[in-house]
Every structure is written in C-alpha cells, then in structure tokens.
Amino acid sequence: MAVVLGVAACAGPAGLRHRVERGESLYRIGKAYGVAPEELARVNGIRDTGRIEVGQVIVIPHANRALPVGVITPERARPDRPTPPELPRGPSPFVWPVPAGLVTSAFGPRGATHHDGIDISTPEGTPVRAARAGRVLYSDHLRGYGNLIILAHDDGYATVYAHLRDNGTRAGADVRQGEVIAAVGRTGKTSGSNLHFEVRKDNIARNPLFYLPALSALSAAGAANRRMDMVEGGHD
C-alpha cells in the first residue's frame, strides 16, 4: 500500500513510500519513477546506491501513486547477440515500429547508466506499430518515459514503446503485428520527437537491432557506433 507523505519536516517535496521487492534496485526504482538514483539516495540517506534490502521502504519524491517497477523496467541488460534457437518463431519475428527515422541513440552504456533500447528520431505524429503480435501488458504516462506502452509476446518476449504522443490502446487488449498502437511524440524526458523502443526477453533488455529486419551493412554498423542512420521498415 502506497502512502503519500512529506519527505522533509520543513518544506520538502511530497513523496510516496515504496517498499522494495525482490529483484529491485535503486536504479530500477528510480528509472520507473523518473528520479535519479543519486537523488533517491540523498533523500533517503542511503550511502551506497548499489545496496538496498528487500522490504526496505524508499521515499520517492514528488510521486503520488505506486508503480509496478518489475513491469516497467527490465531486470538487467545483455549485449550479446541471440543464438538462432533463442529467436522467436516465424518468418518475420519483429518489424520496425515506425516506417522510417534516424537511430539517434543505440543500445548500451550511456555514461554512468545504461540505455536499454534504441531511440528513433522521426516526426511527431508518425504512427507507431506493434513490432510483434501480442497483448498490451502496460499502458500509462510516466515522468521519465512519458506515454508508455509495453506489449507482451509469446516465448517470453516483450517490446516497449515510449515518449508517445498518445496511447492508442489499453492494458489487456490484443494487437496484431503491424497494428497502429500509438503516435510518436515528445512526452517524458526527451530532447525531441522520437520513439524509444526496447526488446526484452524474460524481462532482460536485449539489443533491438539483433531482432529487427536487417538494415544495410553501412546503416547497421553506424547504429552500433552511435551515429545517426536512416532506418526503413515498410508496412503493407
């Protein structure tokens, strides 16, 4: 049960008590709530940001509702390429979620943090399509991710779509591969109109470029090196 409270005895930011569950870290909690782990540590008097205990109560500044951290954020990330047996079944396991755009941020380390997906810069209002058939696991507006949709697929896969202008579907809805589920926007913490896209396997973030239809050798190499590269993914 979440309780809203004042963080400081004087004029402190309003906050919410979050009870730490198994598998959660200060980084994951902060990512779900849109608060830097360093800020969470400061507010809660935690000296080691890498060490919190299951059952410990963490105050989340400015939050007013509890969030499912284990659903919103991946447990961890893996940089390796999946082996053929790991790939989903079917001739087109995943399709590009937007018809065209620039991959402006690749999967991998980003300073002291980790980027769990790719960012695709494309005009606001561009239709966002389901990369694979599945069911809407989560649909909400969050401080960091902005408007966010998470789709659950078979074989333990999930895809994540963030910074949306609007969410065109709701939790529990079934979607077809290629079906429009939202529009590209600039909500949440983002510098411009783009789609943040993730692929997760058993709630572990994987490099989306290993699952999407191949680009040209030049484009794929450029994206891996964090350059701005054109991607094209046609739809019927």
Report the predicted TM-score, pTM, of the whole model to 2 decimal places. Answer: 0.84
What is d(CA 219, CA 176) in angstroms, rounded to the nearest whole number? 28
Superfamily of structural domain 4-69: LysM domain (3.10.350.10)
Q: What is the pLDDT of residue 110?
A: 87
Q: What is the pLDDT of residue 149?
A: 98
Distance of CA 214 to the CA centre of its chain: 22
Nearest one of 119, 159, 166 to 135, comparing CA atoms: 159
Q: What is the pLDDT of residue 86?
A: 86
Nearest one of 121, 124, 113, 81 to 212, comparing CA atoms: 81
| Torsions phi, psi for 150 (to 5 deg) | -120, 125
> In one letter, which amino acid is 92?
S
Q: Start-end ranges of CATH 3.10.350.10 in the chain?
A: 4-69
What is d(CA 56, CA 29) in angstroms, rounded to the nearest whole number? 12
Query: What are residue 185's DSSP bridge partners?
Result: 194
User: Is the distance from CB of 169 to CB of 182 less than 8 angstroms?
Assistant: yes
Quick one: tokens of 171? 């939790």
CATH number of 82-232: 2.70.70.10
What is d(CA 74, CA 206) in angstroms, rounded to the nearest whole number? 10
| Torsions phi, psi for 27 (to 5 deg) | -65, -45
Q: Where are the alpha helices (DSSP H) in the chain?
A: 26-33, 37-44, 69-72, 217-224
Sequence-distant (≥ 6) Cβ neighbours of residue 167 within 8 angstroms: 139, 140, 141, 147, 148, 149, 181, 182
Q: What is the pLDDT of residue 216?
A: 45
Q: Start-end ranges of CATH 2.70.70.10 in the chain?
A: 82-232
Residue 22 CB-density burial (10 A; 0-12 exposed, 13-18 middle, 19+ buried): exposed
- Could you list the pLDDT tens digit for every one of the 236 residues in the chain? 344 443 333 334 568 999 999 999 999 999 999 999 999 999 999 998 888 999 999 999 989 899 999 999 999 999 999 998 888 877 789 999 999 899 999 999 988 789 999 999 999 999 999 999 999 999 999 999 999 999 999 999 999 999 999 999 999 999 999 999 999 999 999 989 999 999 999 999 999 999 999 864 334 434 444 333 434 333 33
Q: What is the pLDDT of residue 13?
A: 56
Q: What is the pLDDT of residue 50?
A: 85
Quick one: tokens of 53? 């205990």
